[in-house]
Structure 1
C-alpha cells in the first residue's frame, strides 16, 4: 500500500445477537483491518486500517449477506514523522 490509513463508518442492519456475531466474525477475518467497533444501537460499524474502503465494504457485504451503506471515509496519514529516532519513552526494546 502507499501508506494510506483509513477510518470508515458504515451502516448495517444489526437485528439480533446472531447478526452481531456474523459481522464480528467477518471483521476479524480481514487481515488489513487494525481495529473495529460495532455499535448495535446506532446500527453502525467503524473500521480502521490500511485498506481500500470499497473493497472492505464489498467483502463485508459478501461475508454477512447484509446491505452495507458507507456513511463516512476519513483518510489519515500513517507516516507519523518517519524519523530514525525511537519514540520518546519507548526504551531499548528494538533488536
Structure 2
C-alpha cells in the first residue's frame, strides 16, 4: 500500500488555444499519480488531485507541455474514501 500524502494543487499555466489545452490534457492523463484533474481555460488554471510530490508533478507538466508552470495553491487533501478534516469547503472530486 502506498502512503504518500494526498494533495490538491492549483497551477497557473498559459492556455492560449485548443492545441495548448489538448497538450496539457494529454500530459495530465499520462501521469498515473494523479487521481483527477480540472482545467479552467478561462482563468488559465489547472487543478490536480492525488498522492504525489508537488514539485515532481510541476516539473513533469513543465517538461511535457513546454509551458511555464506556476504553483498557486497547495493543500493537503483527504485520501480517496477518507473524511476531509477541514470540514466545509474542502470538497473532493466525485469519482466517475
TM-score (norm 2): 0.79
Q: Following the alignment from structure 2 to structure 1, what is the Cα–Cα distance between the partners of residues 82 and 27?
A: 29
Which residue is equivalent to 1:21?
22
SS at match of 1:18: helix
Unmatched segments (≥5 aa) in structure 2: 84-96
TM-score (norm 1): 0.80
Which is greater in Rg?
1
Unmatched segments (≥5 aa) in structure 1: 82-95
SS at match of 1:27: helix
SS at match of 2:39: strand
CA deviation after TM superposition for structure 1 residue 77, in Å: 3.5
Residue 35 in structure 1 maps to residue 30 in structure 2: no
1:1-95 paired onto structure 2 within 5 Å: 1-78=2-79, 80=82
Which ranges of 4 or more aligned residues in structure 1 deviate by more than 3 Å?
Answer: none
Contact 1:33 1:51 in 2 (8 A): yes
Query: How many positions carry a matched residue from both structures?
Result: 81
CA deviation after TM superposition for structure 1 residue 3, in Å: 4.0
